A and B are shown apart, each in its own frame.
Chain A
Amino acid sequence: MILGFGSTVQKTYPGTTFELLSSTLDKALEMAHLDRGKIDGLIATFLPGTFDGNLALHFYTGQLAQYLGIRPRFLDYVDFGGASALAMLYRAEKAISAGDADNVVIIVGGKASPVRERKVTADSVDRAYQGIRLTPFDEVFRVYDDLNPVTDYALVATRHSHLFGTTDEQRASIAVKQRFNAQGNPKAMYKDPLRLEDVLSSRMVSTPLRLLEIVYPVDGFHVFVVGKSGGKSDLRPLSVKYFGEAHWPEMPPELPDIVSTPAVESSKGARPLLEKMDCFELYDSFTITVLLQIEDIGLAEKGKGGRFAQDVNFTYQGEIPINTGGGSLNVGQPAYMSGGVILEEALIQLNAMGEGRQVKGVDMVLVNGIGGWNRAHSTTLVLGE
Protein backbone atom coordinates (compact mmCIF):
# COMPACT_ATOMS: atom_id res chain seq x y z
CA MET A 1 0.00 0.00 0.00
CA ILE A 2 1.00 3.65 -0.35
CA LEU A 3 2.48 4.77 2.97
CA GLY A 4 3.52 8.29 2.12
CA PHE A 5 4.24 10.82 -0.57
CA GLY A 6 5.85 14.19 -0.92
CA SER A 7 6.72 16.76 -3.55
CA THR A 8 8.78 19.87 -4.05
CA VAL A 9 8.16 21.86 -7.22
CA GLN A 10 9.57 25.26 -8.05
CA LYS A 11 10.46 27.15 -11.19
CA THR A 12 14.21 27.14 -10.59
CA TYR A 13 15.81 25.37 -7.64
CA PRO A 14 19.06 27.10 -6.64
CA GLY A 15 20.73 24.18 -4.81
CA THR A 16 21.90 20.79 -6.03
CA THR A 17 19.54 18.21 -7.48
CA PHE A 18 20.46 15.74 -4.75
CA GLU A 19 19.56 18.24 -2.02
CA LEU A 20 16.20 18.81 -3.70
CA LEU A 21 15.61 15.05 -3.90
CA SER A 22 16.81 14.36 -0.36
CA SER A 23 14.47 16.92 1.22
CA THR A 24 11.54 15.61 -0.85
CA LEU A 25 12.26 12.03 0.25
CA ASP A 26 12.23 13.20 3.88
CA LYS A 27 8.73 14.69 3.42
CA ALA A 28 7.43 11.40 2.02
CA LEU A 29 9.10 9.35 4.78
CA GLU A 30 7.69 11.64 7.45
CA MET A 31 4.18 10.97 6.16
CA ALA A 32 4.95 7.23 6.06
CA HIS A 33 6.44 7.28 9.61
CA LEU A 34 9.48 5.44 8.30
CA ASP A 35 13.19 6.21 8.43
CA ARG A 36 15.64 5.72 5.59
CA GLY A 37 17.08 2.58 7.16
CA LYS A 38 13.82 0.77 6.48
CA ILE A 39 13.88 1.46 2.74
CA ASP A 40 15.19 -1.51 0.78
CA GLY A 41 13.85 -0.84 -2.69
CA LEU A 42 14.06 2.02 -5.19
CA ILE A 43 12.53 2.63 -8.61
CA ALA A 44 13.30 5.71 -10.67
CA THR A 45 13.04 7.20 -14.13
CA PHE A 46 15.29 9.58 -16.02
CA LEU A 47 15.35 11.64 -19.21
CA PRO A 48 18.77 12.73 -20.50
CA GLY A 49 19.61 16.22 -19.26
CA THR A 50 16.74 16.55 -16.85
CA PHE A 51 18.23 15.20 -13.62
CA ASP A 52 20.93 17.81 -13.13
CA GLY A 53 21.80 18.98 -16.64
CA ASN A 54 24.07 16.00 -17.33
CA LEU A 55 23.06 13.79 -20.22
CA ALA A 56 23.71 10.57 -18.33
CA LEU A 57 24.51 9.26 -14.88
CA HIS A 58 25.94 5.78 -15.12
CA PHE A 59 23.97 3.31 -13.02
CA TYR A 60 21.47 6.01 -12.15
CA THR A 61 19.41 4.09 -9.60
CA GLY A 62 22.57 2.95 -7.81
CA GLN A 63 23.84 6.51 -7.56
CA LEU A 64 20.50 7.69 -6.17
CA ALA A 65 20.57 4.93 -3.55
CA GLN A 66 24.16 5.76 -2.62
CA TYR A 67 23.44 9.44 -2.13
CA LEU A 68 20.25 8.83 -0.19
CA GLY A 69 21.88 6.23 2.07
CA ILE A 70 19.62 3.42 0.95
CA ARG A 71 20.91 -0.18 0.81
CA PRO A 72 18.56 -1.72 -1.76
CA ARG A 73 17.59 -5.32 -2.18
CA PHE A 74 15.56 -4.23 -5.18
CA LEU A 75 16.32 -1.63 -7.86
CA ASP A 76 14.37 -0.90 -10.99
CA TYR A 77 14.33 1.70 -13.73
CA VAL A 78 11.27 2.53 -15.80
CA ASP A 79 11.69 4.30 -19.12
CA PHE A 80 8.16 5.31 -20.19
CA GLY A 81 8.49 9.09 -19.85
CA GLY A 82 5.27 10.55 -18.43
CA ALA A 83 3.71 7.12 -18.09
CA SER A 84 6.54 5.93 -15.79
CA ALA A 85 5.27 6.94 -12.35
CA LEU A 86 2.17 4.76 -12.58
CA ALA A 87 4.13 1.75 -13.84
CA MET A 88 6.60 2.26 -10.99
CA LEU A 89 3.82 2.11 -8.40
CA TYR A 90 2.51 -1.11 -9.91
CA ARG A 91 6.00 -2.62 -9.96
CA ALA A 92 6.66 -1.57 -6.36
CA GLU A 93 3.51 -3.34 -5.19
CA LYS A 94 4.49 -6.47 -7.12
CA ALA A 95 8.01 -6.45 -5.69
CA ILE A 96 6.67 -6.14 -2.16
CA SER A 97 4.07 -8.88 -2.58
CA ALA A 98 6.76 -11.13 -4.08
CA GLY A 99 9.00 -10.55 -1.07
CA ASP A 100 11.72 -8.79 -3.08
CA ALA A 101 11.55 -5.72 -0.83
CA ASP A 102 9.64 -4.41 2.18
CA ASN A 103 9.58 -0.68 1.54
CA VAL A 104 10.13 0.81 -1.90
CA VAL A 105 10.64 4.47 -2.78
CA ILE A 106 9.55 5.75 -6.16
CA ILE A 107 11.39 8.78 -7.52
CA VAL A 108 10.17 11.01 -10.36
CA GLY A 109 11.65 14.37 -11.24
CA GLY A 110 14.85 16.35 -11.43
CA LYS A 111 16.31 19.72 -12.10
CA ALA A 112 15.19 20.51 -15.62
CA SER A 113 16.15 24.17 -15.63
CA PRO A 114 19.58 23.61 -17.27
CA VAL A 115 17.78 22.13 -20.30
CA ARG A 116 15.15 24.89 -20.28
CA GLU A 117 17.88 27.56 -20.15
CA ARG A 118 19.46 26.08 -23.27
CA LYS A 119 16.13 26.74 -25.02
CA VAL A 120 15.58 23.16 -26.11
CA THR A 121 13.04 20.59 -25.05
CA ALA A 122 13.90 17.26 -23.44
CA ASP A 123 13.05 15.55 -26.72
CA SER A 124 15.42 17.78 -28.65
CA VAL A 125 18.46 17.85 -26.35
CA ASP A 126 20.54 16.86 -29.35
CA ARG A 127 20.24 20.51 -30.46
CA ALA A 128 22.13 21.72 -27.40
CA TYR A 129 24.71 19.04 -26.65
CA GLN A 130 27.50 17.68 -28.86
CA GLY A 131 27.44 14.17 -30.24
CA ILE A 132 23.93 13.21 -29.21
CA ARG A 133 21.62 11.05 -31.31
CA LEU A 134 18.01 10.45 -30.35
CA THR A 135 17.26 7.59 -32.73
CA PRO A 136 19.38 5.18 -34.76
CA PHE A 137 18.17 6.98 -37.90
CA ASP A 138 18.29 10.65 -36.95
CA GLU A 139 19.27 11.67 -40.49
CA VAL A 140 15.86 10.67 -41.81
CA PHE A 141 13.86 11.36 -38.69
CA ARG A 142 15.08 14.68 -37.31
CA VAL A 143 13.54 17.43 -39.37
CA TYR A 144 14.02 21.18 -38.96
CA ASP A 145 14.44 22.56 -35.47
CA ASP A 146 11.23 20.76 -34.58
CA LEU A 147 10.10 21.52 -31.05
CA ASN A 148 9.25 17.92 -30.31
CA PRO A 149 7.10 17.13 -28.39
CA VAL A 150 5.26 20.44 -28.96
CA THR A 151 5.32 20.15 -32.74
CA ASP A 152 4.39 16.49 -32.57
CA TYR A 153 1.27 17.17 -30.50
CA ALA A 154 0.52 20.15 -32.74
CA LEU A 155 0.36 17.75 -35.72
CA VAL A 156 -2.11 15.68 -33.70
CA ALA A 157 -4.23 18.72 -32.86
CA THR A 158 -4.32 19.85 -36.51
CA ARG A 159 -5.38 16.40 -37.65
CA HIS A 160 -7.96 16.02 -34.86
CA SER A 161 -9.59 19.29 -35.93
CA HIS A 162 -9.51 18.22 -39.59
CA LEU A 163 -11.18 14.86 -38.93
CA PHE A 164 -13.66 15.82 -36.22
CA GLY A 165 -14.14 19.58 -36.39
CA THR A 166 -12.52 20.07 -32.98
CA THR A 167 -12.13 23.79 -32.32
CA ASP A 168 -9.48 25.91 -30.64
CA GLU A 169 -12.16 27.03 -28.17
CA GLN A 170 -12.84 23.42 -27.16
CA ARG A 171 -9.17 22.79 -26.39
CA ALA A 172 -8.91 26.15 -24.63
CA SER A 173 -11.81 25.23 -22.36
CA ILE A 174 -9.63 22.43 -20.94
CA ALA A 175 -7.05 25.03 -19.88
CA VAL A 176 -9.78 27.23 -18.39
CA LYS A 177 -11.39 24.44 -16.33
CA GLN A 178 -8.06 23.15 -15.09
CA ARG A 179 -7.12 26.69 -14.03
CA PHE A 180 -10.34 26.89 -12.05
CA ASN A 181 -9.22 23.76 -10.18
CA ALA A 182 -5.72 25.16 -9.70
CA GLN A 183 -7.11 28.11 -7.76
CA GLY A 184 -7.75 25.71 -4.87
CA ASN A 185 -4.27 24.14 -5.03
CA PRO A 186 -1.64 25.87 -2.88
CA LYS A 187 1.11 24.13 -4.89
CA ALA A 188 -0.03 25.48 -8.25
CA MET A 189 2.34 27.91 -9.92
CA TYR A 190 -0.47 29.54 -11.93
CA LYS A 191 -3.58 30.53 -10.02
CA ASP A 192 -4.99 33.66 -11.64
CA PRO A 193 -8.46 33.12 -13.12
CA LEU A 194 -8.29 32.30 -16.81
CA ARG A 195 -10.87 33.04 -19.52
CA LEU A 196 -11.23 31.43 -22.93
CA GLU A 197 -10.13 34.71 -24.53
CA ASP A 198 -6.91 34.64 -22.50
CA VAL A 199 -5.99 31.21 -23.84
CA LEU A 200 -7.01 32.08 -27.40
CA SER A 201 -5.04 35.33 -27.39
CA SER A 202 -1.88 33.81 -25.90
CA ARG A 203 1.15 33.50 -28.18
CA MET A 204 0.95 30.85 -30.90
CA VAL A 205 3.80 28.38 -30.33
CA SER A 206 3.12 25.70 -32.95
CA THR A 207 -0.19 25.94 -34.80
CA PRO A 208 -2.77 25.34 -33.43
CA LEU A 209 -1.23 25.05 -29.92
CA ARG A 210 -0.90 28.31 -27.98
CA LEU A 211 1.29 29.12 -25.00
CA LEU A 212 -1.45 28.57 -22.40
CA GLU A 213 -2.08 25.06 -23.76
CA ILE A 214 1.45 23.89 -22.98
CA VAL A 215 3.16 22.89 -19.70
CA TYR A 216 6.04 24.86 -18.23
CA PRO A 217 9.10 22.71 -17.39
CA VAL A 218 10.17 23.21 -13.77
CA ASP A 219 12.52 21.76 -11.15
CA GLY A 220 11.07 19.32 -8.67
CA PHE A 221 10.57 15.81 -7.40
CA HIS A 222 7.71 13.58 -6.44
CA VAL A 223 8.53 10.72 -4.08
CA PHE A 224 6.13 7.94 -3.14
CA VAL A 225 6.71 5.31 -0.46
CA VAL A 226 5.14 1.89 -0.92
CA GLY A 227 5.20 -0.82 1.74
CA LYS A 228 3.17 -3.46 3.52
CA SER A 229 0.00 -2.59 5.34
CA GLY A 230 -0.01 -2.51 9.12
CA GLY A 231 2.60 0.22 9.57
CA LYS A 232 2.16 3.58 11.25
CA SER A 233 1.04 5.51 8.16
CA ASP A 234 -2.08 7.63 8.63
CA LEU A 235 -3.00 7.27 4.95
CA ARG A 236 -5.88 5.11 3.79
CA PRO A 237 -4.74 1.60 2.87
CA LEU A 238 -4.82 2.25 -0.84
CA SER A 239 -3.75 -0.21 -3.46
CA VAL A 240 -3.77 -0.71 -7.20
CA LYS A 241 -7.22 -1.96 -8.23
CA TYR A 242 -6.37 -2.07 -11.92
CA PHE A 243 -3.25 -1.52 -13.94
CA GLY A 244 -2.78 -1.64 -17.68
CA GLU A 245 0.10 -0.64 -19.89
CA ALA A 246 0.43 -0.47 -23.65
CA HIS A 247 3.30 0.49 -25.91
CA TRP A 248 3.14 1.60 -29.53
CA PRO A 249 6.77 1.74 -30.54
CA GLU A 250 6.20 2.76 -34.17
CA MET A 251 7.02 6.29 -35.25
CA PRO A 252 3.63 8.04 -35.38
CA PRO A 253 3.64 8.50 -39.18
CA GLU A 254 3.43 4.70 -39.40
CA LEU A 255 0.35 4.38 -37.18
CA PRO A 256 -3.04 3.94 -38.87
CA ASP A 257 -3.75 7.48 -37.66
CA ILE A 258 -2.17 9.88 -35.15
CA VAL A 259 -5.33 10.84 -33.26
CA SER A 260 -5.29 7.85 -30.89
CA THR A 261 -2.84 6.95 -28.14
CA PRO A 262 -1.99 3.59 -26.54
CA ALA A 263 -4.41 4.61 -23.75
CA VAL A 264 -7.01 2.91 -25.96
CA GLU A 265 -5.36 -0.38 -24.98
CA SER A 266 -3.97 0.34 -21.50
CA SER A 267 -7.40 1.45 -20.23
CA LYS A 268 -9.36 -1.42 -21.75
CA GLY A 269 -9.72 -3.39 -18.51
CA ALA A 270 -10.80 -0.27 -16.60
CA ARG A 271 -13.81 0.43 -18.83
CA PRO A 272 -16.28 -1.52 -16.63
CA LEU A 273 -15.10 0.59 -13.66
CA LEU A 274 -15.52 4.01 -15.30
CA GLU A 275 -18.91 4.70 -13.71
CA LYS A 276 -17.46 4.08 -10.25
CA MET A 277 -14.69 6.67 -10.57
CA ASP A 278 -14.95 9.72 -8.35
CA CYS A 279 -12.36 11.63 -10.33
CA PHE A 280 -9.85 11.31 -13.13
CA GLU A 281 -6.26 12.47 -13.25
CA LEU A 282 -5.14 12.57 -16.89
CA TYR A 283 -1.68 13.39 -18.15
CA ASP A 284 -1.73 16.99 -19.31
CA SER A 285 1.42 17.97 -21.12
CA PHE A 286 -0.88 19.85 -23.54
CA THR A 287 -4.60 20.51 -23.79
CA ILE A 288 -4.77 18.08 -26.71
CA THR A 289 -3.20 15.34 -24.52
CA VAL A 290 -6.15 15.58 -22.11
CA LEU A 291 -8.62 15.61 -24.98
CA LEU A 292 -7.08 12.46 -26.49
CA GLN A 293 -7.27 10.60 -23.16
CA ILE A 294 -10.89 11.66 -22.56
CA GLU A 295 -11.62 9.80 -25.79
CA ASP A 296 -9.15 6.94 -25.41
CA ILE A 297 -10.17 5.88 -21.89
CA GLY A 298 -13.82 6.01 -22.94
CA LEU A 299 -15.29 9.15 -21.36
CA ALA A 300 -16.25 10.28 -24.87
CA GLU A 301 -16.34 8.58 -28.25
CA LYS A 302 -13.39 9.14 -30.56
CA GLY A 303 -13.90 12.55 -32.14
CA LYS A 304 -16.25 13.84 -29.46
CA GLY A 305 -13.63 14.87 -26.90
CA GLY A 306 -13.88 18.47 -28.03
CA ARG A 307 -17.58 18.63 -27.35
CA PHE A 308 -17.03 16.89 -23.99
CA ALA A 309 -14.38 19.47 -23.06
CA GLN A 310 -16.78 22.29 -23.87
CA ASP A 311 -20.03 20.91 -22.43
CA VAL A 312 -19.09 18.84 -19.37
CA ASN A 313 -18.28 20.58 -16.11
CA PHE A 314 -15.15 18.65 -15.23
CA THR A 315 -13.95 20.98 -12.49
CA TYR A 316 -13.66 19.55 -8.97
CA GLN A 317 -17.24 20.77 -8.42
CA GLY A 318 -18.58 19.13 -11.56
CA GLU A 319 -20.13 15.82 -12.53
CA ILE A 320 -16.93 14.23 -13.90
CA PRO A 321 -13.99 15.88 -12.12
CA ILE A 322 -10.76 15.83 -14.14
CA ASN A 323 -7.33 17.10 -13.09
CA THR A 324 -8.68 18.35 -9.81
CA GLY A 325 -5.50 20.14 -8.73
CA GLY A 326 -5.12 21.99 -12.01
CA GLY A 327 -2.73 19.43 -13.44
CA SER A 328 0.75 20.04 -14.78
CA LEU A 329 -0.56 22.87 -16.93
CA ASN A 330 -0.73 24.86 -13.69
CA VAL A 331 1.66 23.08 -11.31
CA GLY A 332 4.45 22.86 -13.89
CA GLN A 333 6.14 19.80 -15.30
CA PRO A 334 9.12 18.60 -13.22
CA ALA A 335 11.92 17.18 -15.37
CA TYR A 336 9.67 17.17 -18.44
CA MET A 337 7.63 14.27 -17.06
CA SER A 338 4.60 14.88 -14.90
CA GLY A 339 3.40 11.43 -13.95
CA GLY A 340 4.20 12.40 -10.36
CA VAL A 341 1.86 15.40 -10.53
CA ILE A 342 -1.20 13.33 -11.45
CA LEU A 343 -0.36 10.45 -9.11
CA GLU A 344 0.11 12.80 -6.15
CA GLU A 345 -3.20 14.53 -6.89
CA ALA A 346 -4.99 11.15 -6.97
CA LEU A 347 -3.58 10.35 -3.50
CA ILE A 348 -4.52 13.79 -2.19
CA GLN A 349 -8.11 13.34 -3.37
CA LEU A 350 -8.35 9.79 -2.00
CA ASN A 351 -7.11 10.95 1.40
CA ALA A 352 -9.38 14.01 1.52
CA MET A 353 -6.36 16.31 1.63
CA GLY A 354 -7.56 18.49 -1.25
CA GLU A 355 -8.14 21.67 0.75
CA GLY A 356 -9.62 24.18 -1.68
CA ARG A 357 -10.36 21.69 -4.46
CA GLN A 358 -11.48 18.51 -2.69
CA VAL A 359 -14.04 16.38 -4.48
CA LYS A 360 -16.59 14.97 -2.04
CA GLY A 361 -16.40 11.30 -1.08
CA VAL A 362 -13.51 10.09 -3.23
CA ASP A 363 -13.03 6.32 -3.03
CA MET A 364 -11.75 5.44 -6.48
CA VAL A 365 -9.63 7.40 -8.95
CA LEU A 366 -8.45 6.61 -12.46
CA VAL A 367 -5.02 7.96 -13.37
CA ASN A 368 -3.72 7.80 -16.93
CA GLY A 369 -0.17 8.57 -17.98
CA ILE A 370 1.09 9.15 -21.52
CA GLY A 371 4.73 9.39 -22.39
CA GLY A 372 7.77 8.35 -24.25
CA TRP A 373 9.10 9.40 -27.58
CA ASN A 374 6.06 10.64 -29.50
CA ARG A 375 3.48 9.29 -26.99
CA ALA A 376 4.61 5.68 -27.38
CA HIS A 377 3.52 4.60 -23.90
CA SER A 378 0.36 4.66 -21.86
CA THR A 379 -0.29 3.40 -18.34
CA THR A 380 -3.70 3.30 -16.69
CA LEU A 381 -4.06 2.92 -12.95
CA VAL A 382 -7.14 2.67 -10.76
CA LEU A 383 -6.51 3.40 -7.10
CA GLY A 384 -8.84 2.56 -4.24
CA GLU A 385 -9.09 0.63 -0.99
Chain B
Amino acid sequence: MESFKEGKIPYLHCLDCGYNFFYPRDRCPRCHGGKLESRLSSGRGVIFSYTEFQGGIYAIVEMEEGFRLYANVREKVRIGDRVVAVPGKGRPEFVKG
Protein backbone atom coordinates (compact mmCIF):
# COMPACT_ATOMS: atom_id res chain seq x y z
CA MET B 1 0.00 0.00 0.00
CA GLU B 2 2.96 2.34 0.52
CA SER B 3 3.65 2.01 -3.18
CA PHE B 4 0.08 3.11 -3.93
CA LYS B 5 0.66 6.38 -2.06
CA GLU B 6 3.80 6.91 -4.17
CA GLY B 7 1.83 6.59 -7.39
CA LYS B 8 2.76 2.98 -8.14
CA ILE B 9 0.07 0.35 -8.63
CA PRO B 10 0.46 -2.96 -6.81
CA TYR B 11 -1.40 -6.05 -7.97
CA LEU B 12 -1.63 -9.72 -7.09
CA HIS B 13 -0.23 -12.47 -9.30
CA CYS B 14 -1.40 -16.07 -8.92
CA LEU B 15 1.58 -18.44 -9.03
CA ASP B 16 -0.74 -21.36 -9.81
CA CYS B 17 -2.61 -20.07 -12.89
CA GLY B 18 -0.89 -16.80 -13.74
CA TYR B 19 -3.99 -14.62 -13.29
CA ASN B 20 -3.37 -10.99 -12.32
CA PHE B 21 -5.90 -9.09 -10.22
CA PHE B 22 -6.10 -5.83 -8.31
CA TYR B 23 -8.75 -5.79 -5.55
CA PRO B 24 -7.18 -7.53 -2.53
CA ARG B 25 -8.13 -11.14 -1.74
CA ASP B 26 -6.17 -14.02 -0.25
CA ARG B 27 -7.26 -16.51 -2.94
CA CYS B 28 -7.08 -16.29 -6.71
CA PRO B 29 -10.59 -15.46 -7.98
CA ARG B 30 -10.01 -17.62 -11.06
CA CYS B 31 -8.45 -20.88 -9.77
CA HIS B 32 -8.89 -20.38 -5.99
CA GLY B 33 -5.20 -21.05 -5.52
CA GLY B 34 -3.58 -19.53 -2.46
CA LYS B 35 -0.04 -18.99 -3.76
CA LEU B 36 -0.11 -15.29 -4.52
CA GLU B 37 2.67 -12.80 -5.09
CA SER B 38 2.40 -9.03 -4.81
CA ARG B 39 3.90 -7.24 -7.82
CA LEU B 40 4.14 -3.70 -9.11
CA SER B 41 2.49 -2.69 -12.38
CA SER B 42 4.37 -0.90 -15.13
CA GLY B 43 1.74 1.83 -14.69
CA ARG B 44 0.81 1.71 -18.36
CA GLY B 45 -2.74 1.06 -19.48
CA VAL B 46 -5.62 2.07 -21.74
CA ILE B 47 -8.96 3.71 -20.98
CA PHE B 48 -11.73 1.06 -20.82
CA SER B 49 -14.48 3.58 -20.01
CA TYR B 50 -14.70 7.06 -18.52
CA THR B 51 -17.07 9.73 -17.26
CA GLU B 52 -16.59 13.43 -16.62
CA PHE B 53 -18.38 15.04 -13.69
CA GLN B 54 -17.99 18.12 -11.50
CA GLY B 55 -14.63 18.89 -13.04
CA GLY B 56 -13.18 15.42 -12.49
CA ILE B 57 -12.65 12.45 -14.77
CA TYR B 58 -13.32 8.99 -13.42
CA ALA B 59 -12.42 5.93 -15.45
CA ILE B 60 -11.86 2.23 -15.60
CA VAL B 61 -8.29 1.65 -16.80
CA GLU B 62 -7.11 -1.66 -18.24
CA MET B 63 -3.47 -2.14 -17.28
CA GLU B 64 -1.01 -3.90 -19.56
CA GLU B 65 -0.77 -6.74 -17.00
CA GLY B 66 -4.46 -7.47 -17.79
CA PHE B 67 -6.27 -6.26 -14.68
CA ARG B 68 -8.61 -3.28 -14.52
CA LEU B 69 -9.25 -0.71 -11.82
CA TYR B 70 -11.29 2.42 -11.12
CA ALA B 71 -9.01 5.45 -11.31
CA ASN B 72 -8.71 9.21 -11.44
CA VAL B 73 -7.64 10.74 -14.74
CA ARG B 74 -6.22 14.26 -14.98
CA GLU B 75 -7.05 15.13 -18.57
CA LYS B 76 -9.78 14.51 -21.11
CA VAL B 77 -9.57 11.03 -22.61
CA ARG B 78 -11.46 8.68 -24.92
CA ILE B 79 -11.89 4.91 -24.75
CA GLY B 80 -8.71 3.27 -26.03
CA ASP B 81 -6.39 6.17 -25.16
CA ARG B 82 -3.04 5.14 -23.69
CA VAL B 83 -2.49 6.40 -20.15
CA VAL B 84 0.21 6.11 -17.51
CA ALA B 85 0.05 6.30 -13.72
CA VAL B 86 1.70 9.23 -11.93
CA PRO B 87 1.73 10.11 -8.22
CA GLY B 88 -1.55 11.79 -7.14
CA LYS B 89 -3.15 12.84 -3.89
CA GLY B 90 -2.47 9.75 -1.78
CA ARG B 91 -3.01 7.41 -4.76
CA PRO B 92 -1.99 7.14 -8.40
CA GLU B 93 -3.68 9.24 -11.06
CA PHE B 94 -3.44 8.83 -14.80
CA VAL B 95 -2.24 11.11 -17.57
CA LYS B 96 -2.04 10.46 -21.31
CA GLY B 97 1.13 8.76 -22.36
Interface residues of A (CB under 8 A from B): 136-137, 139-141, 143-147, 150-151, 154-159, 162, 205-209, 250-254, 258
How far apart sit A133 and B91, CA to CA, in the bound complex (Å)? 17
Q: With a CB–CB cut-off of 8 A, which chain B residues contact A251?
A: 23, 70
Contact A139 B56 (CB under 8 A): no
Interface residues of B (CB under 8 A from A): 1, 4, 21-24, 29, 48-54, 56, 58-60, 67-72, 79, 91
Name the residue on A nearest B23 (C-beta): A251
Name the residue on B nearest A146 (C-beta): B58
Contact A253 B79 (CB under 8 A): no
How far apart sit A206 and B29, CA to CA, in the bound complex (Å)? 31
Q: With a CB–CB cut-off of 8 A, which chain B residues contact A141?
A: 23, 70
Name the residue on B nearest A207 (C-beta): B52
| 27 A-B contact pairs sorted by A residue (CB < 8 Å) | A139-B4, A139-B91, A140-B4, A140-B91, A141-B23, A141-B70, A143-B70, A143-B71, A143-B72, A144-B56, A146-B58, A146-B70, A150-B53, A151-B51, A151-B58, A155-B50, A155-B51, A155-B60, A158-B50, A162-B79, A205-B53, A206-B52, A206-B58, A207-B52, A209-B51, A251-B23, A254-B22
How far apart sit A157 and B51, CA to CA, in the bound complex (Å)? 9
Q: With a CB–CB cut-off of 8 A, which chain B residues contact A144?
A: 56, 58, 72
Contact A159 B58 (CB under 8 A): no
Name the residue on B nearest A251 (C-beta): B23
* For the complex of A and B, 8 pairs with smallest distance between CB atoms: A154-B51, A253-B68, A206-B53, A159-B49, A155-B49, A207-B52, A162-B79, A206-B51
Q: With a CB–CB cut-off of 8 A, which chain A residues contact B52?
A: 206-207
Interface residue from B49, B50, B56, B79 paired with A145 (Cβ < 8 Å): B56
Given contacts A139-B91, A143-B72, A151-B58, contact A158 B23 (CB under 8 A): no
Interface residue from A136, A150, A155 paired with B59 (Cβ < 8 Å): A155
How far apart sit A132 and B29, CA to CA, in the bound complex (Å)? 27
How far apart sit A319 and B72, CA to CA, in the bound complex (Å)? 44
Q: With a CB–CB cut-off of 8 A, which chain A residues contact B53?
A: 147, 150-151, 154, 205-207
Interface residue from B24, B59, B68, B71 paired with A254 (Cβ < 8 Å): B68
Q: With a CB–CB cut-off of 8 A, which chain A residues contact B91?
A: 139-140, 143
How far apart sit A205 and B58, CA to CA, in the bound complex (Å)? 13
Q: With a CB–CB cut-off of 8 A, which chain B residues contact A158?
A: 49-51, 79
Name the residue on A nearest B90 (C-beta): A139
Interface residue from B1, B29, B50, B59 paired with A139 (Cβ < 8 Å): B1
For the complex with contacts A143-B71, A207-B51, A254-B23, 14 further pairs of A-B residues with Cβ separation under 8 Å are A137-B24, A141-B23, A143-B58, A144-B56, A147-B54, A151-B58, A155-B49, A155-B58, A159-B79, A252-B60, A253-B60, A253-B69, A254-B22, A254-B68
Q: With a CB–CB cut-off of 8 A, which chain A residues contact B24?
A: 136-137, 140
Output the least CB separation between A156 and chain B (Å): 7
Q: With a CB–CB cut-off of 8 A, which chain B residues contact A154?
A: 51, 53
Q: With a CB–CB cut-off of 8 A, which chain B residues contact A155?
A: 49-51, 58-60
Most chain B beta carbons < 10 A, residue from A140, A251, A254: A140
How far apart sit A258 and B91, CA to CA, in the bound complex (Å)? 24
Name the residue on B nearest A252 (C-beta): B60
Name the residue on B nearest A158 (C-beta): B49
Output the least CB separation between B44 and chain A (Å): 16
Q: With a CB–CB cut-off of 8 A, which chain A residues contact B49?
A: 155-156, 158-159, 162, 258
How far apart sit A252 and B23, CA to CA, in the bound complex (Å)? 11
Interface residue from A140, A147, A205, A250 paired with B69 (Cβ < 8 Å): A140
Q: With a CB–CB cut-off of 8 A, which chain A residues contact B29?
A: 250, 254
Output the least CB separation between B40 and chain A (Å): 14
Output the least CB separation between A165 and chain B (Å): 13
Output the least CB separation between B28 and chain A (Å): 12
Output the least CB separation between A75 and chain B (Å): 32
Output the least CB separation between A248 and chain B (Å): 12
Output the least CB separation between B84 and chain A (Å): 17
Q: With a CB–CB cut-off of 8 A, which chain A residues contact B60?
A: 155, 252-253, 258
Name the residue on B nearest A255 (C-beta): B68
Name the residue on B nearest A258 (C-beta): B49
Output the least CB separation between A150 and chain B (Å): 8
Q: With a CB–CB cut-off of 8 A, which chain B residues contact A140?
A: 1, 4, 22-24, 69, 91
How far apart sit A75 and B48, CA to CA, in the bound complex (Å)? 43
